[in-house]
Structure 1
Amino acid sequence: MARAATTSDTFNAIAEPQRREILALLRAGERPVADLAQELGMSQPGASKHLRVLREVGLVRFRGAGKQRLYGLDARGLRPIHEWVGGFERFWNESFDRLDTYVQNLEKTQQEE
């Protein structure tokens, strides 16, 4: 099966580490592209390309503020990721429950010796 285009799939869009860094920076609030580029040590055009991809999959939004565009996080776009990861919650809970049972049995055995 062919991969979805980066600009239409949230999973592919956040597969790029610099895009994840941009999202992390935007958690603190809106930022102009120049600030993001400087923080990430990349060119402004490079940061703009990443922001375009994130905007197209619905993870960031922008608004004009004078001559600047301020970019902000739109966490609603993370819903598919959250739902997918949430599917593993049962697995981890069951794994921790088994570990807890094992440790309790081990402690009980050691106390009986």
Structure 2
Amino acid sequence: MSKSIIHTEQAPAAIGAYSQAVKAGNTVYLSGQIPLDPQTMQLVSDTFEAQAHQVFKNLRAVCEAAGGSLNDVVKINAYLTDLSDFSTFNQVMEQYFVQPFPARAAVGVAALPRGALVEAEAVMVL
């Protein structure tokens, strides 16, 4: 099976030794996105809601670069530094996905890169 690397300027560049996404067969594995503005590479805001929106915008850009959309996502793993933001995360996510929603895990973590409040990664099937 061949694999191809997915990259777009519409999402933040990798800040470590990883690709934005890797396509293997008809499955695309999207690396975790934190709420960086793709042009400035800075956090978009210090509010959780604004950061959550940017995370989904970044994921959407990578999905589109891979030839799909958020509607093709089958699994999301989300990481929140404060689980009291869980309901806000749900409200924001509902603005980017339609039912049936993808499978998802949401985990509380101590910290995220660059001081982000939220990060999400996804698996997409084309």
- TM-score normalised to structure 1 length: 0.29
Q: Which structure has the bigger radius of gyration?
A: 1
Decide which structure has greater strand share. 2
Higher relative CO (CA 8 A, sep ≥ 6), structure 1 or 2?
A: 2
- TM-score normalised to structure 2 length: 0.27
